Structure 1
Amino acid sequence: MEDTALMASIMGLIVHSGNTKSECMEAIQLAKKGQIEAAKEKIKLANESLIEAHHAQTGLLSQEARGEKVEVSMLLIHAQDHLMNAITFRDLAQEMIELYERIQGE
C-alpha cells in the first residue's frame, strides 16, 4: 500500500473513532437530561461511525492477510488505540443510557 493510501486508512480510523466517542458522550449527556430516545439516536450515529472505522481497519487487515506488508508506525498504533477506546466507550455509553432509563422510569 502506498504511503498516501496507508495514511488515508489511518486517518479514517482516527476520525471515525473520534466521531464514535463524541456521539457517545453526547448520548450520555442527553440520557442524563432524561432525553432517552435522543440518546439512543446518538448511539445509532455512533454505531455508523464505528462501522466506518471498522472499514478502514478491515482494509489494513485484508492487505496484511494478502501478504502485503503494512508498516507499523506510532500513528497506526495511535489509530488502533482510538478504535479500541471508541468501542469500549460505546459499550459503556449504552449501559449508562440503560441505567438512566431505569432510574428515570422509577
Structure 2
Amino acid sequence: MDLENEVMELITNAGYARSLVFQAIAVARENNDFAEAESLMQQAQDALSIAHHTQTRLIEMDEGTGKVPVHIIMVHAQDHLMNAIMLTELGREIIMLHKKVAEKN
C-alpha cells in the first residue's frame, strides 16, 4: 500500500464531499430545488464513504501497533474527514430547514 496515495485519496474524497454539501445547501437555499440538493447530498455521501473506506484501510494496516507513521499530513487528512462527516450531518439539517421554510411560503 502506498501510504501517501492513501492519505491523498482520503483528503481528496473528504474535500469533494464537503464541496458537494455546500453546493447542495446553496441549491436548496437559492432555488428551492430539493431534488437536486438530495442528489448532491447523495454524491457527497458516496465520496464520504470512499474516504471512510480509505481511513479503514489505514487503520487496518496499522493494527493498533504504530505500523503507520503519523505525520502532519495524516492528521490533516483525519481533520478533513471529521469535518466532512460533521458538515454532511449539518447540511442535511440545513436543507430540511430550507424545505420547511419553502413549504410555508
Same fold (TM over 0.5): yes
Q: Distance in 2 between matches of 1:91 and 1:29?
A: 15
Any unmatched runs of 5+ in structure 2?
none
Establish whether residue 54 from structure 1 lines up as the match of residue 52 from structure 2.
Answer: yes
Structure 1 segments of 4 or more deviating over 6 A?
Answer: none
TM-score by length of 2: 0.94
User: Does the residue aligned with 1:71 lie in a helix, a strand or coil?
Assistant: coil
Aligned equivalent of 1:70: 68
Q: Distance in 2 between matches of 1:36 and 1:79?
A: 30
Establish whether residue 11 from structure 1 lines up as the match of residue 12 from structure 2.
Answer: no
Q: Distance in 2 between matches of 1:18 and 1:65?
A: 26
Q: What's the offset of the Cα at 1:6?
A: 0.4
Q: What's the offset of the Cα at 1:95?
A: 0.3
User: Does the residue aligned with 1:72 lie in a helix, a strand or coil?
Assistant: coil
Indicate the percent of aligned positions where both proteins have the same amino acid: 35
TM-score by length of 1: 0.93
